[in-house]
Chain A
Amino acid sequence: QKEVEQDPGPLSVPEGAIVSLNCTYSNSAFQYFMWYRQYSRKGPELLMYTYSSGNKEDGRFTAQVDKSSKYISLFIRDSQPSDSATYLCAMSARDSGAGSYQLTFGKGTKLSVIP
Chain B
Amino acid sequence: RKEVEQDPGPFNVPEGATVAFNCTYSNSASQSFFWYRQDCRKEPKLLMSVYSSGNEDGRFTAQLNRASQYISLLIRDSKLSDSATYLCVVVSYNTDKLIFGTGTRLQVFP
| Chains A and B come from one and the same complex | no
- Chain A interface (Cβ < 8 Å from any Cβ of B): none
